[in-house]
Amino acid sequence: MPLQGEIFEVDGAMLDRLESFVNGAIHQVDFKSDKVRDIIVQDAVAYFTGQKSADDVARLIQNKVTTYLNE
């Protein structure tokens, strides 16, 4: 699901945290479909808006993607 026009500010520190998070990934990400991308985009908003921690969002994304791939 795209952000549907929702705008939120991202500063350099947020981008640095995201880059660190991505670079620290243990498993490679290979987009099998738009569905995986949509899950990531939708759930990442909670991190960037300060609603959830990076770890919480990562767990949520991992659970949703795993469920999707196992279907």
- The count of structural domains within the chain is 1
Full pLDDT tens readout for the chain, 71 residues: 456 667 778 888 888 888 888 777 776 655 556 888 889 889 998 988 899 999 999 999 999 999 988 88
Q: Say if residues 65 and 39 touch (Cβ distance below 8 Å).
A: yes
Say which residue the tokens 């770890």 belong to.
55
Cα–Cα distance measured from residue 15 to residue 9, given in angstroms and rounded to the nearest whole number: 11
Give domain status of residue 19, yes or no: no
Give domain status of residue 2, yes or no: no
Give domain status of residue 16, yes or no: no
Q: Say if residues 17 and 54 touch (Cβ distance below 8 Å).
A: yes
Give domain status of residue 23, yes or no: no
| Domain interval for residue 43 | 29-70
Q: Say if residues 52 and 46 touch (Cβ distance below 8 Å).
A: yes
pTM, whole model, 2 decimals? Answer: 0.55
Give domain status of residue 49, yes or no: yes
